[in-house]
Structure 1
């Protein structure tokens, strides 16, 4: 399917991460993506506010990219009860920061791919009203419904002859289920 080369938009999104005290002795803190800041400037774990032991940080600013080829996924996400973006975070290898901010996406399909690898933390964060409108405008401009075409079955009868019978490596029918170890012992 041809996609318009202009069907690409970006927006910087600040990622707000909330740190709360851990609930087990093995985790000092619990971290979660709490909010987004559309159009935010670059940041590197800037403290935004404190409420007792809970602290919110502007952890990073990532670029939200919309691609014309992914409009079906965006439309699916917008149809959810709470339209959201997905923030992908990862435990850092160097230990300089509490978490590395990897990606922000409006595609629930792409977020699912990151969930499947088992190494990343994927947080669902509700979109702001303005961001919902921005993504919806993009989908309205570039989404093309693809007509479902049912595959037609061949008329060829494949059940009339047996293909694949008679492997040349099998000398006699008794060898079909014989253990390979027993075959070697007979050769010795």
Structure 2
């Protein structure tokens, strides 16, 4: 589903940042845009920065369910500082998966913004989840029956050279050298 991303620019509050940027909304089904000005009030300007597709994958339905069950379901916009002067931010991704957003947040390189999910997008994601979600059955792992405290006499350190194929225990090798 194509979704337009709305960014708001306001003057920065420190001497090191001239502008402060925040993702404030989405436009479901929006056409392509390239930093189109939507609204200006004083020093505040809102842009329709770009339109990206929200892609849903059958393997991530658990993440979508988790996001839909939140107090306020959200879409997540992943952005990076741009190297181009004409675009202040590169918008990398928009996703409905809180797990995917967390993966991007772990690197610390990207800016992740949480935006309230519109009702139309919520219905679309819910329909997808109802169609593709398969509950995974929990399987408890069983321990193997190997005795980890077992001591085998005659099997020792592989670094000790000897004529036989069986390793000699280091303590026995030491005793033999002392004799």
**Is the TM value for this pair above 0.5?**
yes
Aligned length in residues: 161
**2:107 — aligned with what?**
117
Q: Alpha-carbon deviation of 1:156?
A: 1.7
Structure 1 unmatched ranges of 5 or more: 1-10, 174-188
Partners of 1:51 and 1:79 in 2: CA distance: 35
Partners of 1:92 and 1:138 in 2: CA distance: 33
Q: Alpha-carbon deviation of 1:166?
A: 2.6
Could you state the TM-score of these two structures normalised by the residue count of structure 2?
0.85
- The question of 1:166 aligning with 2:157 is answered yes
**1:53 — aligned with what?**
43
Q: Alpha-carbon deviation of 1:21?
A: 1.0
Q: Per the alignment, in what secondary structure is the counterpart of residue 145 of structure 1?
A: coil
Partners of 1:94 and 1:45 in 2: CA distance: 13
Structure 2 unmatched ranges of 5 or more: 161-169, 172-179
**1:78 — aligned with what?**
68
Which structure has the larger Rg? 2
- The question of 1:41 aligning with 2:34 is answered no
Partners of 1:60 and 1:49 in 2: CA distance: 15
- The question of 1:155 aligning with 2:140 is answered no
Q: What RMSD, in angstroms, separates the aligned Cα atoms of the two structures? A: 1.9
**2:136 — aligned with what?**
146
- Deviation per CA, 1:56-89, whole angstroms, max 9, x where unpaired? 0000000100011110111011111110010011
Q: Alpha-carbon deviation of 1:50?
A: 1.3
- The question of 1:31 aligning with 2:6 is answered no
1:93 to 83, 86, 89: 83
Partners of 2:84 and 2:10 in 1: CA distance: 22
